[in-house]
Structure 1
Amino acid sequence: MAAPSSITPDYTAAMIMQPVAASEWLIVLPFAVCIVFGAILMMVRHSTWLHARIALTGLVLLVAVDAALLWKVATEGPFTMVMGRWLPPFGIAFTADLTGVLLAFAAALSALACGLHSLSDIDENRKRYGFYPFLMLLMAGVSGAFLTGDIFNLYVWFEVLLISSFGLLVLGSEREQIDGALKYAVLNLIGTTLFLITVGYLYAIFGTLNMADIVLKAGEMRGTAPMMTLACLFTLAFAMKSAAFPVNFWLPASYHTPKIVVAALFGGLLTKVGVYSLLRVMVMLFPVERQELSLVIAIVAALTMVLGALGALAQNDIRRMMGYIVVSGIGYMMAGIAIGTVGGISGAVFYAAQSVLLMTALYLVVGIVARMAGTWSLSELGGLYKLAPLFSGLALALFFAGAGLPPFVGFWPKAMLVKAAIDIDAWWLAGSILVSGFLVTLAFGRLYLLAFWRPKPQKTGGAQVAVVQGASSASAISAIVILALIIVVGGILPETIFRLSQQAAEGLVDPAAYIRSVFPEGSLR
Structure 2
Amino acid sequence: MEPARFEQWLTIAPVALCLTVGAVLMMIRHNIRLHGMIAVPALVALVLIDALLLAHVAAQGPITFMMGRWLPPFGIAFTVDLTGALLALTAAIVALAGGIYALSDISDSGRRYGFYPLLLVLMAGVSGAFLTGDIFNLYVWFEVLLISSFGLLILGSERQQIDGALKYAVLNLIATTLFLITVGYIYAVFGTLNMADIAENADGLRETAPLVTIAALFTLAFGMKAAAFPVNFWLPASYHTPRVVVSALFAGLLTKVGIYALLRTMIMLFPVEREALSLVIAIAAAATMILGALGALAQSDLRRFLGFIVVSGIGYMLAGVSIGAQAGVSATIFYAVHSIVLMMALYLVAGVAARLGGTFDLHGLAGLYRRAPAFAYLSLALFFAGSGLPPFSGFWPKAMLVKASLDIGAWWLTASILISGFVTTIAFGRLFLLAYWRPALGPATAEGPDAAAETDDASFAIGWTSGLPILMLTVLVVWFGLFPEQLMQLTQGAAASLADPRAYLRSVFPTGGAL
The TM-score normalised by the length of structure 1 is: 0.95
Alignment pair present for 1:214 and 2:188? no
SS at match of 1:379: coil
Mark the structure with the bigger radius of gyration.
Answer: 1
Q: What pairs with 1:63-462 in structure 2 (closer than 5 Å)?
A: 63-458=47-442, 460-461=444-445
Distance 1:464 1:381 in 2: 15
Where does residue 489 of structure 1 map in the other structure?
A: 479
Where does residue 475 of structure 1 map in the other structure?
A: 465
Kept after mapping to 2: 8 A contact 1:66/1:105: yes
Kept after mapping to 1: 8 A contact 2:285/2:319: yes
Alignment pair present for 1:465 and 2:449? no
After superposition, what is the alpha-carbon deviation per residue over 1:365-388, rounded to whole angstroms, capped at 9, x for unaligned?
A: 011000101111001111111111
Kept after mapping to 2: 8 A contact 1:507/1:514: yes
SS at match of 1:125: helix
Alignment pair present for 1:502 and 2:473? no
Distance 2:249 2:313 in 1: 15
Distance 1:354 1:70 in 2: 17
The letter of the residue matching 1:498 is: M
Kept after mapping to 1: 8 A contact 2:356/2:460: no
Kept after mapping to 2: 8 A contact 1:101/1:147: yes
Where does residue 51 of structure 1 map in the other structure?
A: 35
Give 1:21 shift: 1.2
Distance 1:22 1:512 in 2: 23
SS at match of 2:473: helix
After superposition, what is the alpha-carbon deviation per residue over 1:119-170, rounded to whole angstroms, capped at 9, x for unaligned?
A: 1110000000000000000000000000000000000000000000000000
Kept after mapping to 2: 8 A contact 1:371/1:467: no
The letter of the residue matching 2:40 is: L
* Unpaired segments ≥5 residues, structure 2: 447-454
Kept after mapping to 1: 8 A contact 2:73/2:514: no
The letter of the residue matching 1:42 is: M
Kept after mapping to 2: 8 A contact 1:343/1:502: yes
Where does residue 8 of structure 1 map in the other structure?
A: none
Kept after mapping to 1: 8 A contact 2:274/2:322: yes
SS at match of 1:28: helix
Distance 2:89 2:418 in 1: 29
Distance 1:112 1:157 in 2: 20
The TM-score normalised by the length of structure 2 is: 0.97
The letter of the residue matching 1:164 is: S
SS at match of 2:363: helix
The letter of the residue matching 2:355 is: R
SS at match of 1:47: coil
Distance 2:249 2:12 in 1: 22
SS at match of 1:80: strand
Kept after mapping to 1: 8 A contact 2:259/2:318: yes
Give 1:461 shift: 2.8
Distance 1:39 1:469 in 2: 34
Give 1:434 shift: 0.6
Kept after mapping to 2: 8 A contact 1:468/1:474: no
Kept after mapping to 2: 8 A contact 1:372/1:464: no
Give 1:468 shift: 5.4
Kept after mapping to 1: 8 A contact 2:256/2:336: yes
**In angstroms, what is the RMSD of aligned CA positions?**
1.1
Give 1:524 shift: 5.0
Distance 1:466 1:143 in 2: 40
Distance 1:187 1:140 in 2: 22
Distance 1:217 1:150 in 2: 15
The letter of the residue matching 2:486 is: T
Distance 1:354 1:522 in 2: 36
Distance 2:75 2:127 in 1: 19
SS at match of 2:370: helix
After superposition, what is the alpha-carbon deviation per residue over 1:293-334, rounded to whole angstroms, capped at 9, x for unaligned?
A: 000000000000000000000001000000000000000000
Task: Report sequence identity in percent.
Answer: 64
Q: How many residues align?
A: 507
Kept after mapping to 2: 8 A contact 1:149/1:211: yes
Give 1:23 shift: 2.0
After superposition, what is the alpha-carbon deviation per residue over 1:262-298, rounded to whole angstroms, capped at 9, x for unaligned?
A: 0000000000000000000011100000001000000
Kept after mapping to 2: 8 A contact 1:368/1:467: no
Give 1:455 shift: 1.1
Give 1:458 shift: 3.6
Where does residue 450 of structure 2 map in the other structure?
A: none
Where does residue 7 of structure 1 map in the other structure?
A: none
Give 1:24 shift: 1.2
After superposition, what is the alpha-carbon deviation per residue over 1:417-452, rounded to whole angstroms, capped at 9, x for unaligned?
A: 000000001111011001101111111100000000
Distance 1:394 1:252 in 2: 25
Where does residue 6 of structure 1 map in the other structure?
A: none
Give 1:475 shift: 1.2
1:464/1:447 CA distance change after superposition, 3 Å: farther
